[in-house]
Amino acid sequence: MSDCLFCRIVAGEIPSTKVYEDDTVFAFRDIAPQAPTHILVIPKVHIPGCDGVTAENSALVAHIFEVIPAIARAEGLTGGYRVVSNCGPDAGQTVPHLHFHILGGKPLTLEMA
């Protein structure tokens, strides 16, 4: 989707600080970090959000959940980390492309996104 911010980041049309990439997954640092480590992990293909996960694409989501701990290890998040995916307006989803926040680097409060 050419008008999707995260699709444009995957395409390199908008710069980002990449931390991981493979054939199907891209990860980059959040522009407004809510914790010392704040990384967004996204599928390269456009999926609008958790509601867009289906039997046809759920293997990709499973792969993302293999990538997430590998990124956390590479980032040295030995004390643990949080994985968040906001779905829809009530959850505060602002970018309609499926993404998983990795938050860590300090003890997190429950209020933190």
Q: Which of ligand 5GP, Zn ion, none sits in contact with 32, Cβ below 5 to 8 A by type?
A: ligand 5GP
Q: Which residues pair with 43 in a beta bridge?
A: 25
Q: How far is the CB of 1 from Zn ion (least distance, A)?
A: 5
The answer to whether 39 and 101 have CB atoms below 8 angstroms apart is yes
Q: How far is the CB of 11 from Zn ion (least distance, A)?
A: 10
Report the nearest approach of ligand 5GP to the CB of residue 89 (Å).
10
* 46: its two tokens: 């456009």
Helices (H), the chain: 5-10, 58-74
Angle made by CA atoms 23, 45, 72, in degrees to the nearest 5: 60
* Contacts of ligand 5GP in 22-81 (CB under 6 A): 28-32, 40
Contact partner at residue 78 from Zn ion, ligand 5GP, none, CB < 5 to 8 Å by partner kind: none
CA distance 33 to 11: 22
Q: Which residues, at least 6 apart from 58, have a Cβ–Cβ distance to it below 8 Å?
A: none
Rule CB under 6 A: say whether 93 interacts with ligand 5GP.
yes
Residues at the interface with Zn ion (CB under 5 A): 1, 4, 6-7, 46, 97
Residues at the interface with ligand 5GP (CB under 6 A): 5, 14, 16, 28-32, 40, 86, 92-95
